[in-house]
């Protein structure tokens, strides 16, 4: 088995994502690996904000995106229990785009040896077995993927 040096844990703020966080922390502690907590702001959300701006919404589109990024960064750091990661090498990261694709790209760029992901996220329409982001990651990632089921 490949030595695990870097672990990516995608976070969408769902309960199952919280379970993946704890599995990622445990794996990082066992393997003495760096841990990346990654949140991807879905491109559809950004497009919706931009569309509001084009339809006459009285606000600055770029300012709205900046505020969204800042709020997500704070949410991400609050989502992960600080007392659980004190002794670990941790980095919090935010990307924009299609979640599954961005997770795979991030893992590749950071030479991740493992991705720990929940099977279902916050999407209203969910697949019977796993969410679309998790499916994309499982199918496209170049490193092993630990899929955390809701039960």
> Does position 127 have pLDDT exceeding 50, yes or no?
no
> What is the share, in percent, of the chain residues with pLDDT greater than 70?
77
Residue 1 included in any domain = no
**Does residue 58 sit within a domain?**
yes
Residue 128 pLDDT: 36
Residue 11 lies in a domain: yes
Q: Is 52 a member of any domain?
A: yes
Pairing mode of beta strands 145-148, 114-118: parallel
Look up the pTM and report it. 0.83
What total of structural domains would you count in the chain? 1
Q: Is residue 38 part of a domain?
A: yes
Whether residue 70 lies inside any domain: the answer is yes
Q: Which residue has the higher pLDDT, 51 or 95?
A: 95
- Which CATH number goes with the domain that contains 39? 3.40.50.620
Tokens 């990622």 belong to: 24
Q: CA 30: distance to chain centroid?
A: 21
Structural domain boundaries enclosing 85: 6-148
- Asked if the structure places residue 67 within a domain, the reply is yes
Q: What percent of the chain has pLDDT over 90?
A: 59
What's residue 126's pLDDT?
A: 42
Q: What is the CA radius of gyration of the chain?
A: 16
Q: What is the pLDDT of residues 2-19, one digit of tens each?
A: 789 999 999 999 999 999
> In 3D, which of 129, 127, 92, 133 has the Cα closest to residue 8?
92
Distance CA(22)–CA(85), nearest Å, equals 10
- Asked if residue 85 belongs to a domain, the reply is yes
pLDDT of residue 80: 95
Alpha-carbon gap, residue 58 to 131, rounded angstroms: 35
Please report which confidence band the pLDDT of residue 70 belongs to, taking 50, 70 and 90 as the band edges.
Answer: confident
Residue with tokens 């969410």: 131
Using the predicted structure, report yes or no on whether residue 101 has a pLDDT greater than 60: yes
**pLDDT over threshold 80, residue 124:** no
């Amino acid at each position: 088995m490949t030595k695990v040096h870097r672990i990516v844990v995608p976070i969408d703020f769902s309960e199952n994502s919280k379970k993946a966080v704890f599995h990622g922390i445990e794996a990082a502690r066992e393997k003495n690996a760096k841990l990346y907590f990654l949140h991807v702001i879905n491109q559809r959300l950004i497009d919706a904000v931009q569309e509001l701006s084009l339809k006459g919404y009285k606000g600055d589109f770029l300012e709205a995106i900046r505020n969204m990024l800042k709020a997500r960064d704070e949410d991400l750091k609050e989502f992960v229990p600080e007392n659980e990661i004190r002794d670990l090498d941790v980095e919090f990261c935010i990307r924009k785009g299609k979640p599954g694709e961005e997770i795979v790209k991030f893992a590749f760029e950071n030479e991740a040896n493992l991705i720990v992901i929940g099977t279902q996220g916050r999407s209203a329409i969910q697949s019977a077995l796993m969410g679309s982001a998790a499916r994309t990651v499982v199918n496209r990632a170049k490193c092993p993927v630990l899929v955390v089921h809701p039960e």
